[in-house]
Amino acid sequence: MSSVNLAIIYYSSTGTNYQLAEWAAEGGKEAGAEVKVLKIPELAPQAAIDSNPAWKAHVEATKDVPNVTLSDLEWADAIVFSVPTRFGNVPGQVKQFIDTTGGLWFHGKLANKVVSAMSSAQNAHGGQEQTILQLYTTMYHWGAIVAAPGYTDPVIFASGGNPYGTSVTVDSSGRMVEDVQPAVKHQAKRTVAVAKAVKSGLNA
């Protein structure tokens, strides 16, 4: 059987979710997947970006990361999303991209994709879980298969214990509070493993 195609799709303003995406890519590659790291396009006005040095620096640092396209979704067998929380929901940039997937959805091309999600916020109860669950709601409409990490490995507890997807707190200096790298890599590997099983079953 051919290897699993894994798309790591992220939105990040100052770099946290980009780092999560990079760790997920490492996990995916270790699990034998073909991996693409793709960013959701920035829609904020340049003036807003320029007003925040960290935001401006991150946009510049990731200018060569390709933007996600609908073709990437069609290519992927598995998708890991990494997005920050915005009032307990996904950022507008993410919603804007998701709202362009109607054609793929209509033609059944998003069904049976294996998906998982991660999130971040500036405090421990800032809406990370709800953001992940909101994203999963859309995935159910796609007919996708959600591969949440649950408590399938001790690293889940070490990173904060979120069974829906890895979540991290970011302090005022932009540093991650919890050590989530092992949990992110485990989540990506689990997503690939589920996708392998699904792909094998569908092709049987």
- The answer to whether residues 97 and 146 touch, using CB atoms and an 8 Å cutoff, is no
pTM of the model: 0.96
Give the pLDDT band of residue 110 (cuts 50, 70, 90).
very high
User: What total of structural domains would you count in the chain?
Assistant: 1
Contact assessment for residue 130 and residue 88, using Cβ atoms and an 8 Å cutoff: yes
Percent of the chain with pLDDT over 90: 94
Q: Given a cut of 70, is residue 1 above it in pLDDT?
A: no
Task: Give which of 85, 66, 202, 78 is closest to 142, Cα–Cα.
Answer: 78
**CATH code, domain with 128:** 3.40.50.360
Whether the pLDDT of residue 22 is over 70: the answer is yes
* CA–CA distances in Å: residue 168 to residues 8, 86, 146, 192: 17, 14, 20, 22
* Digit-coded pLDDT (tens) for 59-107: 999 999 999 999 999 999 999 999 999 999 999 999 999 999 999 999 9
Domain of 134?
Answer: 5-203
Q: Averaged over 21-43, what is the pLDDT? A: 97
Beta strands in the chain (DSSP E): 5-10, 34-39, 78-84, 114-121, 145-146, 167-169
Q: Sorting pLDDT into bands at 50, 70 and 90, what band is 174?
A: confident
**Residues 125-149: pLDDT tens digits?**
899 999 999 999 999 999 999 999 9
